[in-house]
Amino acid sequence: MLDMVLIRQQPKKVQETADRKGIALSVERILRLDGRKRELQKETESYRRERNERSEQIRQRILSATKSELLAERNAVKRLNAQLAEAEAELGEVVRELNALLLLVPNLVSSDTPTGQSDADNVVIRQAGKPPVFAYPLRDHVELGESLGLIDIPRGVKAAGTRSYYLTGIGALLHRAVQQLAIDLLLARGFTLMEVPLLARPEAMTGTGFFPLGADQVYRIPDEDKCLVGTSEAPLVAFYSGEVIDVARPIRLAAASTCFRSEIGSAGRDVRGLYRVHQFAKVEQVVLCEADDALSEQCHAEITANAEELLRRLELPYRVVSVCIGDMSQKTYKQYDIETWMPSREAYGETHSSSNLGEFQARRANIRYRDKKGKLRYCHTLNNTAVATPRILIPLLENHQNEDGSVNLPRALQPYMNGLTAIHPKDAGRGRN
């Protein structure tokens, strides 16, 4: 949410940002409602003041005034009450419409955010590692997963419908191993690990910026007014909602959680395998810090570096791209995506997203701190995916495959896999009965 003062001062910039982010919004309508709201607030204050003054006059003159004079005063108070009620009713309607529109207003973007309309316009800023060249026929992650007994998609579909899967035996161990590797990396860098609710109230989703524009991606729990979270970012930020907190040192939080997304609007996209599924797991980084642009820029670089370090430990080629305004979400001020090389796609695929939200999210969630002068200010918030699985299994299996169908395990993962250095076809079914 943006400060209304900023919207009044920079309406053209706010409208342009909404247009470029693809958000249907009339800033002109917001300004008209805001103006009418302020007019009505003055009117209601005037009516209350005059009513109270006349009521006091009646009380003081009740013994000295004539009946006709008292009746005239009482009738005047009745008229004022009617006018007040009418103005308050209109004010309530205006405030409701204004607040609904303010929830659609996008965050402004950083000066170095690329212009563009889609991910095709994102700008590569650095690249690490070289995509492998295979001298033998390439297997994709589904072929590898099935032949090695790691993945069972047909039974997943049988049990839960499209975009569902089972990870079996060593596949399930691998899924948990990459999460634990990410957790240990973040713990070593000062993050506090949290176990978070997977259910959230709509107010928490609105406060963290996932509603109303992202509501179609969320699974609802009928009759309970709750929903399944699509990322632990929501409950991590909501942990401090409505509070005044101490951010003398940035608060660094991490959570490993199951996540759910309906993937509405993605029909026909990435339908094969594990790239786009309804249920997955993420290790998320969330940072809350003072409203200092240089500090939040530093924190943004840090959380991005954490994700890059994870990919280096997984020995995977990747690149970092600066996300253009047209590919950004409503709440994002600045964003980097990390894309990992996926041989079967012959392309880099997004595996991580790293965002600086400025004070936009904290303003919605009402998370504040006291600055050095004792003034209450909204925090800056940031978030980043340390790892998302099973999507990360796509490059992990495909980049490390061998001609015989086996898959080497990166050295950093081996301690989490009971010392296993590679997965062979003979291992199919290990870890399950």
Distance between CA atoms of residues 289 and 296, nearest Å: 7
Nearest to 340 by CA among 141, 177, 122, 131: 131
Distance between CA atoms of residues 47 and 340, nearest Å: 64
Helices 27-61 and 67-102, packing angle to 10 deg: 160
Nearest to 296 by CA among 107, 121, 127, 128: 107
Distance between CA atoms of residues 140 and 142, nearest Å: 6
DSSP state, residue 409: P
Cα torsion through 313, 314, 320, 324, rounded to 10: -130
- Looking up tokens 């003034």 gives 375
Phi and psi angles of residue 9, each rounded to the nearest 5 degrees, phi first: -80, -35
Q: Please, where are the H alpha helices in 26-66?
A: 27-61
Distance between CA atoms of residues 424 and 386, nearest Å: 28
Nearest to 103 by CA among 216, 22, 214, 6: 214
The residues annotated as belonging to the active site are 261, 276, 350, 353, 391
Tally Cβ neighbours within 10 Å of residue 205: 22
Q: Quick one: tokens of 196?
A: 């978070």
Q: β-strands 192-194, 251-260: how paired? A: parallel
DSSP state, residue 401: B
